[in-house]
């Protein structure tokens, strides 16, 4: 029988970008999830969204897996990046672009620049 941790490990290692969130990328169910999904959607990142509200075991399992108490959680190439505040800071500083570049993740650089310009 597959555990929630096994499912999570499989999801984050077989997909380039994964967002564990409340809701879905097209219908986020909390402001923090909406912020990260909005950034990824605007930047044109191809990512898998996992709705933790649909499965209580996954909801707790992702917190145990990352040893991080909150959701949303972003993973890039199997690596835990962070939650809403960290991803927001990385987006505004350009670090998220650098991470995507280093990991070979396709995104719209002009859109990333537009986010920074709108928030400067």
What residue spans of the chain are helical by DSSP H? 4-14, 31-42, 56-66, 84-93, 95-103, 109-118
CA-based nearest residue to 39, from 103, 102, 101, 86: 86
The confidence band for 8, taking pLDDT boundaries of 50, 70 and 90, is very high
pLDDT tens for each residue of 38-90: 999 999 999 999 999 999 999 999 999 999 999 999 999 999 999 999 999 99
Please give the Cα distance from 105 to 3 (Å, whole number).
Answer: 28
Look at residue 2 in the predicted model and tell me its pLDDT: 81
Ordered structural domains, the chain, with CATH: 4-118 (3.40.30.10)
């Amino acid at each position: 029988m597959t555990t929630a941790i096994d499912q999570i490990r499989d999801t984050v290692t077989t997909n380039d970008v994964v967002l564990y969130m409340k809701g879905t990328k097209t219908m986020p169910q909390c402001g923090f999830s909406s912020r990260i999904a909005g950034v990824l959607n605007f930047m044109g990142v191809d990512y898998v969204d996992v709705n933790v509200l649909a499965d209580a075991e996954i909801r707790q399992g992702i917190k145990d897996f990352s040893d991080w108490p909150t959701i949303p959680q972003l993973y890039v190439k199997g690596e835990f990046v962070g939650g809403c505040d960290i991803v927001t800071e990385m987006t505004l500083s350009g670090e998220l672009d650098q991470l995507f570049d280093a990991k070979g993740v396709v995104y719209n650089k002009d859109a990333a620049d537009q986010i920074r310009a709108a928030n400067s």
